[in-house]
Structure 1
């Protein structure tokens, strides 16, 4: 069968699925429960959840204008402080011709109009993921529509979530679905998409280090003539230390006065720009004619092309509009940029150009030299405040995007502190904060001047912009299903423009441009290695998951006892019983009277409603009282306090028991096999091999050949047992000698049994898996797994620290995985 025929078959299959869904919806009110083909045991509950309020919902103008005002202080600090250093970074060798000033001004005008205004404000902002922006938000959005996630943990139930918002497939849009299936079936394309998201994140992190350095140094440089450059660097370092020390208080508290300060800053630079325009040379308005751009390149040739690196700095911070979108709304950003930021910075550049036409020798410190004497010190003070705010915005954005990467398994475990009860996206990461501070200090001391830092700064920003252009083009083609010519026009116009700027920036590699490239490469390797091993661990557990036959053998094992209490065994596996379970039984031959396999799974959406967060299944036979629970959360969700999480889990378990008993009563006497058990729930992307293993016996786990690509090697058993846990283990006076618990007739008795088990205590169990490379694997795999991943794992947080498990009730069992 050819590729085209395969695509047609896939489209026909999706159309048939669509018809089935539509027919089921039409028959829901006509058929009985017994005749329904049940896919999700939470269908009733999911149906009760209304669409959550999101950034696409309508809001009043008063709210929109309020958000627009707030966004001025959070979003535009970086792009608003660019007038401090753009002309100095462009004319590094001085101004040779007064007409060059008109050419550069024309470039600045149309660069601002094209990239931040047209691309970001009116196109990219709409490519948000339920109101959230950034590289990983784009990747998450793509993963929701295309099956491109490398870890096969997708479940059909995920599409029932309120925030999923998938369209019903249509056979009329064949081009989009052909491309969709080609990408899904291409392993290279899936890796490339993940790599783009990781690289975009790495560029933002680099931006988070360079923005504070160049912004604060530029602001403080206003006193360089009186104190000297070394003193300026020292003052900058002191301000940076204070800035990063305040991060622990959170953006919400630190930024209380952000909007008024930036608004004052925009008033100052706009007013000074108008003053210079009318006093020195109103003729610079001719720069709105793009002919001056052509003349500029004709006059300067290669030097004009190299100067694009400095011109590009006028739009640094544009990506912050998209990265910080989660705090505001699309309309609010559009209003604040169009009516406040855009006219203010444009007037500032025009005024500086008018000043330079009269004083071309002052290009080295244009901004401060062009300020009227009475306004010098007020502007200097406001400039420092604006520079700190610009730094704060990018630091907060970097924290947010690292938090997203962490949730999607693409970053080593770090502590994420949510600093605001009003804004869920505002986070603080202590480890990253101090790394940023050290990085900023090194950059300032090493480069010393804004001109040298600008060589490195531009590459980080343009790299992130090019990745955004690529991902949004794919979204336009596959998800928005726009005209092919419209997508090509978008990609070529913005892609070529950004490539020209990148080509100019890359020539400054040896002058400092190497810094963001080296930094992005290291970060990409770190995130790539972590995600690779994370995915391989998941595939290992998927291939070695335990079948229900193992539980039947376990029930006949007289050496295994049930003890009072509830055991929560954590695992990343969402499609069966993890291989750590038989190893746990072998180490501690006891099992709690109620066992729940808990899988905390990040869904490719920003938030999951609390009513939809817990997905339960009961492992058959029911008298085992063993459950599986997938805890679904978005990358912006907060898991909360462990006691609160435990209470929510238990309440949802009781609700599931009531609903399951209702389903059994409905199906009684008709077809009890309609009830979906945990082992019938498999991901649609699972391989045939993993599906077949559902019916394998437990003996296969013990007799797996050593020639397999993955092996389990038992370790020394229990690595940590708390005093509270020991009371529930064998040797307690309350242990039961029978594997089966008493069977009750009805949900009330079952819930009472759960309550009694809770009174005896809840014990958390975690498999402490040591990951090593298989002896027969390649040298590269051994280096990645045995050394690189091992180093990251030892120097970052452990699993129980990242999900806040109470240590007094923690039981860890060691294993070794060979990948």
Structure 2
């Protein structure tokens, strides 16, 4: 009953989403998704059979066993797990590891930065509708997570690990796909990344026809080979052939799983890239084009191999009919180059999410489509991926070791996604425990079996994604760790109400015309840099607004809910605190529109606050409101100044060597080489004033 209720609720939600977008838009997005999401999994027939049988086919029925493995693997993982289960766990349309982490952070207080406010829960899409009443199991799990600092840290670490592995996929995808299509075409991996700057919208329309043609080619050739050589491979639908395959080959069969798993490479792109499209559009394109084309392609190759065991090393091209060889070669090369788009687009999406949640250094995020939300491009990451692709290709020079590395990256991310999904099933969906156990036993056990197989090839190139993930996790850990320490420093040294009254009672400073915005990430109180500013400049603007830029663990915050104001006493100081709340996919406003919107919202707050907190007749209250709004208008006319804290962080005296390396060297190096605060917030330079202060952490 619980599952039925949940399915009905989800179906209704998707139906409403479909109506909002319109079916014409959904079908357009479905077509685009073919060119962006499926290039990787679509080109896997180029190398799966050759990777599974590196030493040749020892028994003809082994082909049926492997075909059965491929069929059930594609059905269970990409189709059942991702298309019909994982895509239901999007965070208001956003996918990827950080989207799952954000969902958990909303339902349990597992975030390590204490920036939560009671008002956050009032944001319309902060909470999702629950499918049933709260269960004891979910409440107990939530309580245990919130009480355990280890559990909070572990969740963040594995989120970073999953993110790093997906980025590693973005590096390895161009390498293995292009090298599999045509040996020696190393330069194609770098040229591919140059088209990313046009964005998913244009890239999707440009590449979708090529990938669509590719799917028709492999499906058609699959049917041709199936009919011509051995239609009896349909027997592979019987899973008994998998059992027979393992009995005959034992350990070799287990090792060969590392080749079979390559049939689902790029599956994580289904989830990571869903924000570029929509859940329904991805489901349509997968079920109507990708899945049937892949099954027909592998069935055709198996039929061909049943009659030509010796051609397993070059199965794909040997199975292509003569007249179609060169057209197929051209399309294969084009499709393989395009395949890198899937994981690169996914990389952009998850980095955007991790950046907003304080887990990645500041980089420029360019929103590439005015029609569809979530389509982004990150120049710095794009160039790093390009260099990494060229480096990996130049060093390994063949698909064997790259395939070993690729398998580890792919399966590792799948296992982490399943772990998060189980938490979401229990904590948020309140799924029946029997269904949770069934998921773990069926899909979880399959993924762990594949993981054990690919890890056996650690020394044959499998170390590469783990080494790359270690580098990325180090960067993310350094940034997030110091980011948290800095936040706690500001929280511990914030200006209290008593201190503020003492400051305002001081007659040594003067008030000057104008409005000043003090930027800070502290949402609980006034940051210590304000006191530092007054100690050096004995003047205050007539109106002060302390602006805290805050990222909520949700994808979007509606404009009417973005600005949350409070007034600081004494009232005649005209001092306000404003928390500006963004979702991790929201576009940050440029300086001009941000100022205008903030002033409008400030005036609305003044009116509401005065009517709620002050006593008097209606005319008297209206007069008070008019006076304060006039004060704000006059301050704006006199000029708006943006005050940004240029905080330097150093390890405190007496700190250990590890802390000094973390803060004084690692963090400082990253910060010096990346974007500054004013560039991230798009603050007008002509009205920007930086206030320097050193934090001893």
Partner of 1:767: helix, strand, or coil?
strand
2:7 aligned residue: none
1:708 aligned residue: none
Partner of 1:150: helix, strand, or coil?
coil
Partner of 1:114: helix, strand, or coil?
helix
1:249 aligns with 2:198: yes
Change (3 A) 1:566 1:620: same
Shift of 1:799: 1.5
Q: Is the 8 A contact 2:97 2:417 kept in 1?
A: yes
Shift of 1:169: 12
Shift of 1:399: 0.8
2:345 aligned residue: 396
1:590 aligns with 2:545: no
Q: Is the 8 A contact 1:88 1:451 kept in 2?
A: no
1:759 aligns with 2:641: no
Partner of 1:513: helix, strand, or coil?
helix
Shift of 1:361: 1.5
Change (3 A) 1:169 1:493: closer
Shift of 1:366: 1.1
1:107 aligns with 2:69: yes
1:623 aligned residue: 572
When the two structures are superposed, what TM-score results if normalisation uses the length of structure 1? 0.81
1:323 aligns with 2:244: no
1:437 aligns with 2:386: yes
Shift of 1:181: 0.8
2:520 aligned residue: 571
Partner of 1:189: helix, strand, or coil?
helix
1:807 aligned residue: 685
1:153 aligned residue: 115
Instruction: Name the count of aligned residue pairs.
Output: 683
Q: Is the 8 A contact 1:54 1:130 kept in 2?
A: no
1:194 aligned residue: 156
1:656 aligned residue: 605
* Greater Cα offset, 119-128 or 766-775: 766-775
In structure 2, C-alpha distance between the alignment counterparts of 1:550 and 1:427, rounded to whole Å: 44
In structure 1, C-alpha distance between the alignment counterparts of 2:285 and 2:368, rounded to whole Å: 25
1:80 aligned residue: 42
Shift of 1:54: 8.0
Q: Is the 8 A contact 2:258 2:450 kept in 1?
A: yes
In structure 2, C-alpha distance between the alignment counterparts of 1:332 and 1:380, rounded to whole Å: 29
- Pick aligned residue for 1:610 from 539, 553, 559: 559
1:642 aligned residue: 591
Q: Is the 8 A contact 2:37 2:341 kept in 1?
A: no
Partner of 2:565: helix, strand, or coil?
strand
In structure 1, C-alpha distance between the alignment counterparts of 2:383 and 2:500, rounded to whole Å: 49
Alignment of 1:373-772 (within 5 A): 373-665=322-614, 668=616, 745-772=623-650
Alignment of 1:123-134 (within 5 A): 123-134=85-96
2:10 aligned residue: none
1:180 aligned residue: 142
Shift of 1:577: 0.5
In structure 1, C-alpha distance between the alignment counterparts of 2:352 and 2:416, rounded to whole Å: 19
In structure 2, C-alpha distance between the alignment counterparts of 1:92 and 1:334, rounded to whole Å: 34
Shift of 1:172: 5.4
1:785 aligned residue: 663
Q: Is the 8 A contact 1:87 1:366 kept in 2?
A: yes
In structure 2, C-alpha distance between the alignment counterparts of 1:365 and 1:169, rounded to whole Å: 51
Shift of 1:98: 1.5
Partner of 2:115: helix, strand, or coil?
coil
Q: Is the 8 A contact 1:159 1:166 kept in 2?
A: no
Partner of 2:186: helix, strand, or coil?
helix
* Greater Cα offset, 332-341 or 398-407: 332-341
2:696 aligned residue: 818
In structure 2, C-alpha distance between the alignment counterparts of 1:298 and 1:395, rounded to whole Å: 40
Consecutive unaligned residues of structure 2, counting only runs of 5 or more, are 1-12
Shift of 1:70: 3.0
Shift of 1:246: 2.0
* Greater Cα offset, 66-75 or 51-60: 51-60
Shift of 1:755: 1.7
1:720 aligned residue: none
Shift of 1:186: 0.6
Q: Is the 8 A contact 2:556 2:582 kept in 1?
A: yes
| Cα distance per residue 1:393-446 (max 9 Å; x no partner) | 211110111011000000011111111112231111111111100100011111
Q: Is the 8 A contact 1:216 1:236 kept in 2?
A: yes
* Greater Cα offset, 804-813 or 588-597: 804-813
Q: Is the 8 A contact 1:219 1:383 kept in 2?
A: yes
Partner of 2:246: helix, strand, or coil?
helix
In structure 2, C-alpha distance between the alignment counterparts of 1:522 and 1:241, rounded to whole Å: 21
Change (3 A) 1:808 1:520: same
Change (3 A) 1:55 1:209: farther
Partner of 1:592: helix, strand, or coil?
strand
1:122 aligns with 2:72: no
* Greater Cα offset, 144-153 or 556-565: 556-565
Partner of 1:257: helix, strand, or coil?
helix
| Cα distance per residue 1:145-183 (max 9 Å; x no partner) | 111110011111111111113558998522211111111
In structure 1, C-alpha distance between the alignment counterparts of 2:421 and 2:136, rounded to whole Å: 20
In structure 2, C-alpha distance between the alignment counterparts of 1:207 and 1:116, rounded to whole Å: 16
Q: Is the 8 A contact 1:424 1:638 kept in 2?
A: no
Larger radius of gyration: 1
Partner of 1:606: helix, strand, or coil?
coil
- Pick aligned residue for 2:32 from 50, 57, 70: 70
In structure 2, C-alpha distance between the alignment counterparts of 1:494 and 1:168, rounded to whole Å: 25
Q: Is the 8 A contact 1:744 1:750 kept in 2?
A: no
Q: Is the 8 A contact 1:462 1:498 kept in 2?
A: yes
Consecutive unaligned residues of structure 1, counting only runs of 5 or more, are 1-50, 222-231, 670-742
In structure 2, C-alpha distance between the alignment counterparts of 1:603 and 1:810, rounded to whole Å: 26
Q: Is the 8 A contact 1:606 1:636 kept in 2?
A: yes
In structure 2, C-alpha distance between the alignment counterparts of 1:570 and 1:52, rounded to whole Å: 39
| Cα distance per residue 1:246-287 (max 9 Å; x no partner) | 222222223323222221111000000011111111121111
2:6 aligned residue: none
Partner of 1:98: helix, strand, or coil?
coil
In structure 2, C-alpha distance between the alignment counterparts of 1:217 and 1:547, rounded to whole Å: 62
Change (3 A) 1:354 1:443: same
Shift of 1:331: 2.9
Q: Is the 8 A contact 1:308 1:504 kept in 2?
A: yes
In structure 1, C-alpha distance between the alignment counterparts of 2:140 and 2:19, rounded to whole Å: 32
Shift of 1:744: 11
When the two structures are superposed, what TM-score results if normalisation uses the length of structure 2? 0.94
| Cα distance per residue 1:87-119 (max 9 Å; x no partner) | 111111122221211111111011111111111
1:218 aligned residue: 180
* Greater Cα offset, 510-519 or 359-368: 359-368
Partner of 2:112: helix, strand, or coil?
coil
Change (3 A) 1:201 1:254: same
1:677 aligned residue: none
Q: Is the 8 A contact 2:33 2:208 kept in 1?
A: yes
In structure 1, C-alpha distance between the alignment counterparts of 2:417 and 2:471, rounded to whole Å: 20
Partner of 1:601: helix, strand, or coil?
strand
1:676 aligned residue: none
Shift of 1:539: 1.1
Change (3 A) 1:744 1:753: farther
Partner of 1:769: helix, strand, or coil?
strand
Change (3 A) 1:131 1:548: same
